[in-house]
A and B are shown apart, each in its own frame.
Chain A
Amino acid sequence: MMTSEIPVVTSVSSGKGGVGKTFATINLAACLSRMGRKVLIVDCDLGLANIDIMLGVNPQYTLKDVIFGSLEFPDVVISTKYGFDFVPASSGIKEMAQLLYENIDRINAAIGNIALSYDHVLLDTGAGISENVLQFTLFAKRNIVVLNRELTSLTDAYATIKVIYQTFGRHNFEIIVNSTRGDDEGKNIFAHIDTISGKFLGFHLNYLGQIPYDEAVSRSILKQEVLSFMNPQSLAAINCSLIAGKMADWR
Chain B
Amino acid sequence: MQASAMPDKKSEKREKGDKKLLPLYSEEKEIKLQTTENDFSGNNGDSVKTLRQILEKNKAVTILLGKAKPRKTKAVITLLDNLPDSDAEAFNNTAHLIINMEDDLLEKIAHLHNENIKLRSKALIDKLTGLYNHRFFSAQLETEMARTRRTGLSCTLLMIDLDNFKRLNDTLGHTEGNKFLSSIAGSIRENVRPTDAACRYGGDEFMIILPATTINYAARTAQRLKNAIEKLSEPLHLGISASIGIAEFTVTLSWGVDEFINAADSAMYESKKKGKNRISVAEGKGLDEGEAGLVSPEEKEALFKVYDSLKKEGKNDDF
Contacts and interface: CB of A to CB of B under 8 A. Distances in A.
Interface string B139-177: 000000010011010000000000000000000000000
B61 to A, nearest CB: 38
A104 to B, nearest CB: 15
A193 to B, nearest CB: 7
B302 A94 contact: no
B117 interface: no
Interface in B271-319: 285-287, 289-291, 294-296, 298-300, 302-307, 309-310, 313-314, 317, 319
B145 to A, nearest CB: 9
Given A131-B285, A159-B289, A159-B295, A151 B304 contact: yes
B238 interface: no
Nearest to B145: A94
A206 B13 CA distance: 85
Nearest to B298: A200
Nearest to B284: A130
B179 to A, nearest CB: 41
Interface in A144-176: 149-152, 154-156, 158-159, 162-163
A192 interface: yes
A123 interface: no
Interface in A102-140: 126-133
Interface residues of A, number: 43
Interface in B232-255: 250-255
A16 B287 contact: yes
A155 B254 contact: no
A158 B305 CA distance: 14
A47 B302 contact: no
A93 to B, nearest CB: 9
Contacts of A154: 303, 306-307
A236 interface: no
A199 interface: yes
Given A128-B286, A129-B294, A151 B307 contact: yes
Given A48-B251, A94-B255, A156-B290, A188 B310 contact: yes
Contact of B152 (A15, A48, A159, A193): A48
A196 B152 CA distance: 30
Interface in A192-228: 192-193, 195-196, 199-200
A128 B253 contact: yes
B186 interface: no
B318 to A, nearest CB: 9
A233 to B, nearest CB: 24
A24 interface: no
A154 to B, nearest CB: 5
B254 A94 contact: yes
B45 interface: no
Closest 3 CB pairs of A and B: A128-B252, A97-B254, A130-B285
17 contacts: A15-B287, A47-B149, A47-B253, A128-B250, A129-B289, A130-B254, A133-B252, A151-B304, A154-B307, A155-B303, A159-B290, A185-B310, A188-B310, A192-B309, A196-B303, A199-B302, A200-B299
Interface of B: 146, 149-150, 152, 250-256, 285-287, 289-291, 294-296, 298-300, 302-307, 309-310, 313-314, 317, 319
Interface of A: 15-17, 46-48, 91-92, 94-98, 126-133, 149-152, 154-156, 158-159, 162-163, 181-182, 185, 188-189, 192-193, 195-196, 199-200
Given A152-B290, A192-B309, A196-B299, 5 more contacts: A48-B252, A154-B303, A156-B290, A163-B289, A200-B302
